[in-house]
A and B are shown apart, each in its own frame.
With several copies, the nearest count.
Chain A
Amino acid sequence: MEHLSLRQAVERFVPSGARVALEGFTHLIPFAAGHEIIRQQRRDLHLIRMTPDLIYDQMIGMGCAARLTFSWGGNPGVGSLHRLRDAVEHGWPRPLELDEHSHAGMAAAYCAGAARLPFGVLRGYVGADLVTVNPAIRSITCPYTGEELATVPAINPDVTILHAQRADRKGNVAIHGIVGAQREAALAATALVVTVEEIVDELPPAMNSVVLPHWLVSAVVHCPGGAYPSYAQGCYARDNSFYQQWDAIARDRASFTEWMERHVLARPDHKSFLASLGEAA
């Protein structure tokens, strides 16, 4: 475990062409890390996330991604992810290959990855055309009952990036609130980078709460506000208003590009990104 700046962590752990999972289900989405990947102009990434959300909309729109593994690609409660749609419907700014699952299928694939099994099993995809368009979804026969069950290949990212509330100096990471598939994505990955709101000398006794032990963590990055406009339970709320505004920003290629240039590319880091939103208001 190392303490790195976000710039260093992305330089080190996110080369172009990597399989990258930025996880966090609505909660704790690592926006700052995604923006730094955009700044460092990574290309040909295989992006992995259950819900691409705004962060992958931005990364796809900025041309970082060649392939997307996902299970639901909307702006929650708002509508479409317009940059994702534009890539799929019109190949802009470049074509995007889809590896599409259901939530249950993708969760099973992460679990298999974390357990270092080659596949996950589920009662799933019943009567669903996803089976016909995604050759990775297959089936297996139960050796006891003879039933046919669906299988998904394990997901094992080269690097998983998470955001969390806090880490201690050794790199133990504590997560509080909705965890989604964060733990499975972390354990399935070769490298694990975690941006955190706060670094403390020592975490409180954990008992059954969610901790990623330091020896699973490749790098910890101190990055307050790093999940914004997503949220960090106990630190700041989800900016639902921003999610609603994003619809108009992202609908148009020019307004999207201008927003990204102004708020991400022209800014050296996340602190400056956050400050730029204040200026815009």
Chain B
Amino acid sequence: MTGWTRDEMMTIAAARMLWDGCVCFVGIGLPSAACNLARLTYAPDIVLIYESGTIGTRPDVLPLSIGDGELAETAACVVPLPEIFSYYLQGGRVDVGFLGAAQIDRFGNLNSTVIGPYDAPHTRLPGAGGAPEIAAHARQTFVVMKASPRSFVSKLDFYTSAGFLGGGSAREATSARGGGPKAVVTDFGILTPAEDSRELTLTALFPDTTVEAARAAVGWQLALADELEILDPPTPNELATLRALNERTSEAHRRPVELPA
């Protein structure tokens, strides 16, 4: 097994930020892959919560939707959705929330609602879902997004979910109780908020790319950390586990459904 894709490296980089026993509010797609990769490698007792109400779930294949039957079958328990948001997320019981979006700004604010004006959209996106309250209440959030100047923008078209708002202590003045974005995992490396300004700063690069490529992918003047970490490439075990998971998953999603007669 040689070589790896940027998608794989993003997933693996995100998985490495998790720790055993941490309680994750998992979104669909790459976050779900990252969380389950962590569970299948170095964080066997990670607790995965999907907003569908499945708590402590251990799926063998990745769900396509946030509420596939596999999640319920392997869960410690299944609770009504309102409880997930009130008792668990707002209740301060979630260590890590994963977020993605169509746009992010330099303070980690996210847009997943609309490109163009809300009332006359150029592109209508799916919308908020769980994001605004994951962003507010999870003790920390990890954002996972492929970078381009169209997605990493200096001004969002719409503020769906709060990062550090205008930066500095702006977030502390709100009723958000969670710590905000801890890291943004892109397809070139990792941005983390600077200590005082809270501006997203390049702190780690994937092993196969350059600062110049990172800067070209970001629509604002990207700040660099004093010490830039070069991330280790995927280990054979990480890669093998992730590929097997993806293989099981796409096989399962292709499987024909038997309806009752």
Contact = CB atoms under 8 A, between A and B. Distances in A.
Q: Are any A and B Cβ atoms less than 8 Å apart in their complex?
A: yes
The interface size bin for chain B is 35 or more
A73 B67 contact: no
B109 A180 contact: no
Contact of B69 (A27, A51, A85): A27
A126 B162 contact: yes
B87 A114 contact: yes
A247 to B, nearest CB: 12
Contact of A177 (B78, B129, B135): B78
A167 to B, nearest CB: 12
Given A126-B162, A130-B113, A115 B124 contact: no
A41 B55 CA distance: 38
A108 to B, nearest CB: 7
A65 B207 CA distance: 51
Interface string B16-52: 0000010100001100000000000000010100011
B1 interface: no
B66 A124 contact: no
A25 B81 contact: yes
A181 B127 contact: no
Nearest to A50: B81
B174 A240 contact: no
Nearest to A197: B260
Given A107-B86, A125-B132, A177 B69 contact: yes
Nearest to A101: B128
A266 interface: no
Given A100-B127, A115-B86, A130-B128, A241 B121 contact: no
Which secondary structure dominates chain A's binding surface?
A: loop
Interface string B163-179: 00100000100111100
Interface in A169-221: 170, 172, 177-181, 183-184, 187, 197, 205-211, 213, 215-216
Contacts, number: 259
Contacts of B130: 72, 102-104
A225 B51 CA distance: 25
Given A89-B124, A107-B86, A236-B260, A129 B76 contact: no
B81 A181 contact: yes
Interface in A96-124: 100-104, 107-108, 110-111, 114-117, 122-124
A104 B85 contact: yes
A102 B64 contact: no
Contact of B132 (A89, A102, A179, A235): A102
Interface string A125-169: 111111001000000000000011100000000000000000000
B64 A77 contact: yes
A71 interface: yes
A239 interface: yes
A56 interface: no
A172 B135 contact: no
Nearest to B157: A129
B19 to A, nearest CB: 13
B23 to A, nearest CB: 6
B52 A147 contact: no
A256 interface: no
Interface in A237-266: 237-244
Contacts of B51: 103
Contacts of A13: none
A16 B41 CA distance: 44
B126 interface: yes
21 contacts: A26-B68, A72-B127, A72-B128, A73-B124, A89-B124, A100-B128, A103-B130, A107-B81, A114-B87, A123-B136, A124-B133, A125-B132, A127-B162, A127-B176, A178-B71, A206-B75, A207-B72, A207-B75, A229-B257, A240-B253, A244-B253
Nearest 6 Cβ contacts at the A-B interface: A26-B67, A74-B126, A127-B162, A72-B129, A76-B65, A211-B77
